[in-house]
Structure 1
Amino acid sequence: MDTHHDINAALQRAVAVFTRRPDKGLHDDVSARACWKGGMRVTATHASGLQIGTDMPAELGGGGELPSPGWYFRAGIAACATTAIAMVAAEQGIVLDRLDVEVGSRTDTRGLLGMRDVEGGAVQAGPVSVRVEVNVAAAGVPPGRLHALVEEALRRSPMQGAIAGQPTMTVAVSVGEAGTT
């Protein structure tokens, strides 16, 4: 099976459809539903039924037995970047020999706790910085071309775009009676 060719063919079909019907490019993504399981444990469920659990470290009241929601956030950024790089490589006819992406971040936990900084201002709840490290190799492809490929892919990565663009967020709250589900 020629995966590289299959990916490129699928991408070309999608471009052809969206060129004819740009309105088809905008769609609702599959929602994630999270349900509190007590303590600091939460189970998130995909429409397919796939479930992932989260917990917080013991220092923040959790059991520390499962990854935190922040880890899944970084994992999502890493997976999205890796996917985007593989897609752009396939479009450009580059056969990758190796591709892995590591995403780290630096966060001030005081923001999650609702604390203030020394000047009295609110501490940001999200990461103050995000680091993306890409390890990529492709036989016979000059390093400059691989750097350009990664830059293009990250520019097109939806999760990178969400971080940079800060999309509009709407919040709807419904309040039920205690003891009902």
Structure 2
Amino acid sequence: MSNSHIREALAGVIEHFTQHPELGLMTDSTAVAVWQGGLRFQTEGPSGATLVSEMPKAVGGGGSAPTPGWLLRAALANCNASMIALRAAQAGITLTRLEVTVDSDSNDRGLLGLAEVPPGPLRVRAHVRLAADGASAEQLQALVDWAEQHSPVADALRRAVPLGTTVEIGR
């Protein structure tokens, strides 16, 4: 997709939500994880999208697919990269390189219930490499700053989002 195509699509969406702000609030598409045996799951989503995860061999999984924790980091990397590219297109900046690397520190004793430490990441880091012909370092930094403030995945990790669970017992 070209920058002009992205810019035109964004302009249409912005105009739509400017005229109809009440339509901005919606329920996001569902992700349904289906057990495939052991510690392997296939998650199904909209338009036939599928994603497989499996826990590593060290905890009894087969290690044949990414772990859910890696998928979280991948989601953050992809979301931040998408938002940087979106903002660049909006600003008329043609990127020549964009790479977002995400890693984290965790204490696996938490997910095993062996210590009073959180089961999730203790710290998450993102590293962005980008370049664009004719854009200054300040302009590129502004793209990243804007993207980090508008990335839905980064936002979900940054603030406490209410999480509710319902349980259905039976077949």
State the alpha-carbon separation in 1 of the partners of residues 69 and 134 from structure 2: 37
- State the alpha-carbon separation in 2 of the partners of residues 71 and 11 from structure 1: 30
Which whole-Å deviations, capped at 9, do the CAs of 1:42-75 have from their partners, x for residues lacking one?
1111132222211111111111111111111111
Matches within 5 A, 1:37-48: 37-48=36-47
Equivalent residue in structure 2 for 1:141, among 104, 125, 135:
135
Counterpart amino acid of 1:17? H
TM-score with structure 2 setting the length: 0.96
Give the residue type in structure 1 aligned to 2:62: G
1:167 to 158, 161, 164: 161
Q: Which of structures 1 and 2 has the bigger CA Rg?
A: 1
Alpha-carbon distance between aligned partners in 2 of 1:50 and 1:157, rounded to the nearest angstrom: 21
RMSD (CA atoms): 1.1
1:149-175 CA deviation, whole Å, 9 max, x = no partner? 101111100000101122111111111
**2:24 corresponding residue in structure 1:** 25
* Uncovered stretches (5+) of structure 1, i.e. residues with no partner: 117-121
Match of 1:124 in 2: 118
Which stretches of structure 1, 4 residues or longer, exceed 3 Å deviation after superposition? Answer: none
Count of residues in Structure 1 that have an aligned counterpart in Structure 2: 171
The structure 1 residue matched to 2:151, chosen from 137, 152, 157, is 157
Matches within 5 A, 1:1-181: 3-116=2-115, 122-176=116-170, 180=171
What SS does the aligned partner of 2:161 have?
A: coil
CA distance in 1, matches of 2:97, 2:22: 35
Distance 1:72 1:53 in 2: 10
Q: CA deviation at 1:124?
A: 0.1
TM-score by length of 1: 0.91
| Aligned equivalents of 2:141, 2:59: Cα separation in 1 | 39
